[in-house]
Amino acid sequence: MSSALIPYIDEPHPVTGVTNSKLGVWLFLASEVMLFGALFSSYIILRVGAVTWPHGSAILNVPLATLNTMVLITSSVTMVMSWASLKMNKFGKFRFYLGSTIFLAFVFLVVKAFEYGAKFEHHHFPSTDNFYGLYFTLTGLHGLHILGGIVVNLYLLFPGSKLWKTNPEQFAGRVECAGLYWHFVDLVWIFLFPVLYLL
């Protein structure tokens, strides 16, 4: 409604060099860094204060997590490709790559669900000890972020893609912002994987 009044929605600001949304997403990611930063700090404090702390690789499923790492990194690549396709004006390829990103995100969640299921079967719950508590809290919160990314990407793939016809620049900008978020979610996992599974 007010879009006619607001500048720099589809073109970058001449001084800052970014659109409003891109600056907004970077700021949002800064706050996300603080969120996960606080959780990782809590991990450190709880771990150094603990009498005993299990070795992650002994009780968690490292091969499955490695597979998931691969899945997530590949999804980041397809995310970039979907944006690049838009920039090269190939809408069909964009749909393929964004669809792949969403598919891979679901694969990640399904693998994660199997991991959770195996833990519950062996009666390992968040209440078991603080290692499992942190494991479930951190991966759960990360899973919620994946779910949020899926919702955004589904929107861009189906109803949101109508914008491509009327304002391709703005649409490519939206895909780029979703991509920035997606890479961040990927990056969090890159930290979570060694911290929980390997150290």
Partner 1 sequence: MSQNHNHPTEHHELNWIQKYVFSVDHKVIGIQYALTGLTFLFFGFCLMMLMRWQLAFPGEPLPLIGKLFSDTTMPGGVMLPEFYNSLGAMHGTIMVFLGVVPLAVGGFGNYLVPLQIGAADMAFPKLNAASYWSYFMGGVIMLISFFVPGGPANSGWTSYPPLSDIASTGQTVWLLGMVFLITSSLLGSVNFIVTIVQMRAKGLSFFRMPFFVWAQFVTSFLLLLAFPPLEAAAVLQLMDRVAGTSFFLPSGLVVSGNPLTIAGGGNPVLWQHLFWFLAHPEVYVLILPAIGIVTEIIVNNTRKPLYGYKTLVYSVLFLGFMSFVVWAHHMFMTGMGTTMSSFFQATTMIISIPSVVILTCLIITLWGASIRFTLPMHFALAFLPMFAIGGLTGLPLGLTTSDIHLHDTYYVIGHFHYVVAPGTLFALFAGIYHWYPKATGRMMNTLLGKLHFWISFLAINGIFMPMFIQGIAGVSRRLHTPTMYAHAQAVQGTNVFMSCSAWILGLAQLLFIVNFFMSLKNGKKTNDNPWNGTTLEWSTPTPPPHGNFTKPPIVYRGPYEYSVPGHATDFIPQVQPN
Tokens encoding 32: 């996300």
Closest distance of CB 102 from partner 1, Å: 24
Q: Determine contact, residues 42/86, Cβ cutoff 8 Å.
A: no
Lookup result for tokens 């409003």 = 20
Among residues 94, 108, 136, 193, the one that binds partner 1 under rule CB under 8 A: 136
> Rounded to whole angstroms, how far apart are CA atoms 54 and 106?
30
Closest distance of CB 32 from partner 1, Å: 7
Among residues 61, 84, 96, 126, the one that binds partner 1 under rule CB under 8 A: 126
With contacts defined by CB under 8 A, name the span among 43-51, 60-68, 84-92, 113-121 that binds partner 1.
43-51
> Rounded to whole angstroms, how far apart are CA atoms 187 and 13?
28
Radius of gyration of the chain (CA): 19
Q: Please report which helix (H) or strand (E) contains residue 147, including its range.
A: helix 130-157
Q: Determine contact, residues 10/176, Cβ cutoff 8 Å.
A: no
Applying CB under 8 A, what is the total number of residues that bind partner 1?
A: 41
Among residues 128, 154, 170, 195, the one that binds partner 1 under rule CB under 8 A: 128
Binding site for partner 1 (CB under 8 A): 1-2, 4-8, 13, 16, 20-21, 23-24, 27-28, 30-32, 34-39, 42, 45-46, 49-51, 125-130, 133-134, 136-137, 141
